[in-house]
A and B are shown apart, each in its own frame.
Chain A
Amino acid sequence: MEDLLQKAIAEASSMGATYVEARYHKNDYFTLRARNGNLIDSSREVEEGVGVRVLVDGSLGFASTSTLSIEGVLEAVRRAVAAAKRLSWLMKSPLRLGPGRTGRVKYEVPVAKSFENTPLDEKIGLFRELWNRGREVVKEASLKVMFNEYVESLEEKVILTSEGAYVRSTIPRLYFGYNMVISHPQKGVVQRWREFGGSGGFELVEKWRVVDTVVEEAGTLGRVILEARAPPSEPVEVLVGSEIVGLMAHESAGHPSEADRILGREAAQAGMSFIKKGMRGFKVGNENATVVDDPTIPGSYGFFLYDDEGVSARPKYLYREGEVYEHLHNRFTAAEYNTESNGSARAMNYASEPIIRMSNTYVTPGDYTFEELVEDIEYGVYIKSYMEWNIDDERWSQRYVGLEAYLIEKGELKGFVRNPVLELTTKTFYSSIVAKSKDLRFYAGTCGKGEPSQGVPVWFGGPDVKLSKIRLGVAPG
């Protein structure tokens, strides 16, 4: 494969490309889907091909092919170069490449319990157990639907660039998602969609305590539908659970810190950012507002050590003690910022260009236990989980609708609150953090960006966070 990619680079260079990146990329997914304990189907999807990106006369071209012969790959190279050349006359501001510490390296994620050596029965058995135990714990209301998706995958890449980068990587991952519908004839419906994900093997199922976690949650939501009351209408202290804090870190620190977004490259799709060029140091919150993106966390869903431009990856402070600190860069945005890439370029598959992406993004933890955070609240709301959320295309106005949420009175959890809405600006959130728990937890997701849209695995995380008094809304319905 290395020979094939070297030939691609030589061909593009001979045609006038000043930068060439050739990537063999294979994603092998095995999926099982089930409804109410019964299997729907088994599925295996193998995406395999070569993607080539070239810079010609300041114009960027990308081509991919699923034909892995030398003819197929060279044809892709010629198309990428020709297309970039044809567009180059429209470039008012030719693209430039900044520096990046590229590597020559091979790495792979170890697996404790391989997917191949785990009997299919054991995997399928998870679905039956979830359904049977889930139905038992939901009393009075009923568990109507339990939809499950189990995906084991292997991502293999070989990346070569005309500047000497060589990165060969192998990353196995596991994903488990569920959609649970609990209904009651008079009380309506509550619904939960949740995902687990990480890099590694089948051992993750045990680590995540998938069955116990889902069953516990089913039991709780079976009570939420019966008992939850409207949230307080006056401003109250709010304890935001780590699951929501993690999502907020992703949405309102990670996305607005993507330098390509800031520079307008995604303007017609996912939008831009409230952060503009030159706003490093902008006060976005208080001293508790520190957010990190770190692709090097072992076992994480967003794990990688070198990005898809062959640049070494590292942790980055996106916000540090309330200030905008460092953006996510690839080599093209690094040139615009007169800095070096921090290794944030990722491509979903061989047919996708590498673009700036998050990896594992989290709010840093604090010093309190969860119990201490609750004890300090005279009257407030604890929002543990969510379903609906969104944020505007500049990543400023955000909304999260709680699912499992509790009233807090005199330092104790006192019953459930139904669909409380946290709808606030990014600055309000990061300026309102008064305390954080010491417990940093991560959650899995698939982040979408780019055109065509690319979904890449990420973690988002954080501690439980206490906010100063804020007004909550309530969802319609």
Chain B
Amino acid sequence: MPTGGPIRIVVCIKQVPKAQELQVDPKTQTLKRVGVPSEINPPDANALEFALRIKDDMPAEIVVLSMGPTSFDESLERAIAMGADRAVLLTDRILGGSDTVPTAHALSETIAKIGGYDLILCGEETTDASTGHVGPGIAGHLAIPQVTYISEMRIVDGKVRARRTAEDGSEWWETAMPCLLTVNFGCNRPREPTLSGKIRVKRGGVIVHWSCADVGIDPNKVGLRNSPTIVAKVDTVHLPPRARKLFQGEAREVVAQLLKALVEDGVIAP
């Protein structure tokens, strides 16, 4: 509960390969991941933007947290340059192969170690694992309220109000802090890094690396070995081949050609 001082916001961000650049290798039939540029998981950037907007309005400290290899520093640096105060990278070989259970466990332990948090923000889901389970998992471990799939939020009288989009409608929820929210992709426009932010990155000292031992994470709770699920195999999806026929020319002509083709295919009535 905030007691007048700055509120502490932890934003969980993951670095992911840019989805649009992922291609299936025609030879090996697996995804080519090497050489693919990375980015902050897009909804996590929206989560960070919410944190930054809170900080625009009231005293707040923003800690970005990520779990992964040291290459994730690139995204943490970007988050700092955008305006986050400091970053923690939980990085340890024994974390490799963790599914959502150890990931939620390790992140919640790390958040507990950071301590003093009022608000935890996650993205709705990652573009590489796309489960959306890690955020609610962290909230479950920390036994704090959660509101998922939010598109708007504000802090009113020390409480969080957030608008959640469900299938049937939009819901405004109110909850006390500390709480965890998962943020919808595209609900705001993440700001660009600033020059002063970049300078702070350059000066150094804003990103710390913690190992499992540093946090006190039980090695028997994380990693591939302690993940309930395994990926037994991956099948390439063989989509129906597409004609990829392009019609070019005047609007009247191309539309006539298109309609003729669809009628001939028997998919629209003549």
| A-B complex is real | no
